[in-house]
């Protein structure tokens, strides 16, 4: 069974960089599929941030592209998110998931709340 | 970017009745449309993919229909556990986009 688990700081200061990692178990990232990040501000809807293929090919949400970097470490079977220059508007629950083109999002992490505050 | 618009924003239905949720895409997404259910404090759960195929373990009272730009999620005979927020999502084009959600509440 495929499982995803997010990890990283729950509190980030404004203007700093948010960093999260998603560990995948039950499936080898190198076997295929896109893997990505989705966020949900408190009380609001879902926003796709970006996705990465095991080869390193990435796609980002244009609204966040200038601040986002997603990377993959196939040796550790995990992928990571970096979001720079954060503000309070970046406060959200961040989910990692198996998400890409032509495939629905069938596996999600439990989500981790990241608060941007000084 | 494909904009997904869900209606209504909130739907009040009595247990045992049928609920019909709509999702419209700003351009064709073929059948690359999914529906998710989200309960408070939980990650979304995949209900329907390919516009009409139930995901593993999803009860038969959930059904999806449509293609192109117009889609519908129908829940027949609502159970207490079905009251939640529902999102549609297109996975036909980058960027992936979601609808704003429909809150299904008990009448």
Residues of chain A in contact with residue B32, where contact means CB-CB under 8 angstroms, are 102
Q: Each residue of B7-20: b (16+ CB within 10 Å) or e? A: eeeebebeeeeebe
State residue A4's pLDDT score.
98
Min Cα–Cα distance to chain A from B101, Å: 7
Say how far apart CA A43 and CA A29 lie, in whole Å: 32
Question: Residue B98 and residue A48: Cβ atoms within 8 Å?
Answer: yes
Report the residue from A36, A46, A102 with minimal CB separation from B44. Answer: A46
Q: What is the pLDDT of residues A44-65, one digit of tens each?
A: 999 999 999 989 999 999 999 9
What is the SS3 assignment for B96? coil
Tell me the pLDDT band of A29, cut-offs 50, 70 and 90: very high
Q: Which helix (H) or strand (E) holds A53?
A: strand A47-53
State residue A18's pLDDT score.
98
Question: Residue A105 and residue B94: Cβ atoms within 8 Å?
Answer: no
Question: Residue B32 and residue A102: Cβ atoms within 8 Å?
Answer: yes
Question: Residue A100 and residue B91: Cβ atoms within 8 Å?
Answer: yes
The mean pLDDT value of chain A amounts to 97
Measured between CA atoms, the residue of chain A closest to residue B40 is A43
Say how far apart CA A20 and CA A8 lie, in whole Å: 5
Q: What is the pLDDT of residues A57-99, one digit of tens each?
A: 999 999 999 999 999 999 999 999 999 999 999 999 999 999 9
Residues of chain A in contact with residue B34, where contact means CB-CB under 8 angstroms, are 104-105
Say how far apart CA A107 and CA A57 lie, in whole Å: 20
Q: Which residues of chain B have pLDDT under 70?
A: none
Question: Residue B94 and residue A111: Cβ atoms within 8 Å?
Answer: no
State residue A115's pLDDT score.
98
Region A25-30: mean pLDDT is 96
Say how far apart CA B41 and CA A93 lie, in whole Å: 10
């Amino acid at each position: 069974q495929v499982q995803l688990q997010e990890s990283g700081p729950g509190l980030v200061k404004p203007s700093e960089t948010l960093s999260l990692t998603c560990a995948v178990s039950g499936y080898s990232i190198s076997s295929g599929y896109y893997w990505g990040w989705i966020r949900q501000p408190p009380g609001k809807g879902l926003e796709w941030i970006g996705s990465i293929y095991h080869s390193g090919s990435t796609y980002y949400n244009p609204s966040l592209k200038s601040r986002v970097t997603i990377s993959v470490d196939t040796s550790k079977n995990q992928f990571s998110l970096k979001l720079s220059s954060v503000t309070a508007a970046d406060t959200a629950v961040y989910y990692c998931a198996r998400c890409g083109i032509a495939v629905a999002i069938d596996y999600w992490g439990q989500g981790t709340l990241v608060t941007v505050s000084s | 970017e494909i904009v997904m618009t869900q209606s209504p924003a909130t739907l009040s239905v009595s247990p045992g009745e049928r609920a019909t949720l709509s999702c419209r895409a700003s351009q064709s997404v073929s059948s690359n449309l999914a529906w998710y259910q989200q309960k408070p404090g939980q990650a979304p759960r995949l209900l329907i993919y390919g516009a009409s195929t139930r995901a593993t373990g999803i009860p038969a009272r959930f059904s999806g229909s449509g293609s192109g730009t117009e889609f519908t999620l129908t829940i027949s005979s609502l159970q207490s556990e079905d009251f939640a927020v529902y999102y549609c999502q297109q996975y036909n084009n980058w960027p992936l986009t979601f609808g704003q959600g429909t809150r299904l509440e008990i009448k």
